[in-house]
Structure 1
Amino acid sequence: MIIAVIDGMGGGIGGQIVAHLRQELPSYFEIYGLGTNSTATSVMFKNHANKGATGENAIVVSSKKANVIIGPMSIIIPNSMMGEVTEKMAAAVAEAEALKILLPIMPDNFVLVGLENKPMMLLIKDAIAILKKEFNIQK
């Protein structure tokens, strides 16, 4: 199974997601750290992603291969992350057949109604719980 973690900016969210996936999932899961920039990719790679790639084409190509895509909601919003998410990136993620598990982190001018305001750590734990339940994964 291929899990693509997509992040940008400084890669802090993606790095945390990769680290927790490594702790919670069996070692045979492939984790791709896909960054909108090289800093984000590097952070995910340092947190033990199996593979890492940077930029629009890497995200477009790898989104097609992934079984699961995890990242902040901004990855499906064109021009978010201060312009790092291109229209092609956002479309590729949104149109991918992969299960998308999105953390409710988005630009300031977006508001989703009905969401709990939780700390990042709890959001990541919730995302991993959804992944484990969806694919009946036990470590």
Structure 2
Amino acid sequence: MLKIAVIDGQGAGIGRTFIKECKKVLKNKVYIFALGTNEVAANNMIKNGADEKYVGEKDIVRFLLEHKLDAIVGPIGILIDGGINGEITRELSNAIFKLDCVKYIIPLQKHGIYIPGTKDLAIKDIIKEIIKNLEIYAT
């Protein structure tokens, strides 16, 4: 069974969408940890199928240090101190960056960050591509 962490903040729109689609496709081949930078984000990911939640910087960093993951998924802001409108701290972004697993980074064109080649990509297509890649590991 794949162990995947999905990290998101604010209302967890990206996290919710990913979890819902991932559970629909991979069903019982995946166990998803919802890492919410706030309670609303974590609860929204649980409502959409995550199996377990951790909330806030201290709990998330502790979780990341104590668990072996196959992958982590989140918007590009998770790699940047101050990302997701200030909800990502330096300790959190460092813990994510140092993880020994695949990091699926969803390129949002926010905060002056632009990744060439992603302009015309829809979030739903990016999520489908991530899940297709995860299916390879889930078999």
TM over 0.5: yes
* Residues paired across the two proteins, number: 136
Output the aligned Cα RMSD. 1.5
CA displacement at 1:29 relative to structure 2: 2.1
Higher helix residue share: 2
TM-score, length of structure 2 as denominator length: 0.90
* Equivalent residue letter for 2:16: G
Instruction: Give the equivalent residue in structure 1 for 2:57.
Output: 56
Q: Which stretches in structure 1 are left out of the alignment for 5+ residues?
A: none
The 1:17–1:99 alpha-carbon spacing in structure 2 relative to 1, beyond 3 Å, is same
**Does the aligned pair in 1 maintain the 2:7–2:15 contact within 8 Å?**
yes
1:96 corresponds in structure 2 to 99
Deviations along 1:20-65, whole A, 9 cap, x unmatched? 1111113142110111111110110001111011111222123342
Question: Is contact 2:11-2:41 (8 Å) kept?
Answer: yes
Which blocks of at least 5 consecutive residues in structure 2 are unaligned?
A: none
What's the counterpart of residue 6 of structure 2? 5
Q: With structure 1 as the length reference, what TM-score do the two structures score?
A: 0.90
Residue 84 of structure 2 corresponds to which residue in structure 1? 81
Contact kept? 2:35, 2:42, Cα under 8 Å: yes
| Distance 1:79-1:106 versus aligned 2 partners, 3 A rule | farther
Query: Which secondary structure does the structure 2 equivalent of 1:49 belong to?
Result: coil
* Residues 1:7 and 1:33: Cα distance change in structure 2 (over 3 Å): same
Greater mean alpha carbon deviation, residues 110-119 or residues 13-22: 110-119
Residues 80-127 of structure 1 deviation map (CA, whole Å, 9 limit, x = unaligned): 111100011111111100111111125331111232422221111111
**Does the 8 Å contact 1:4/1:62 carry over to 2?**
no
Question: 2 CA distance for matches of 1:89 and 1:2?
Answer: 19
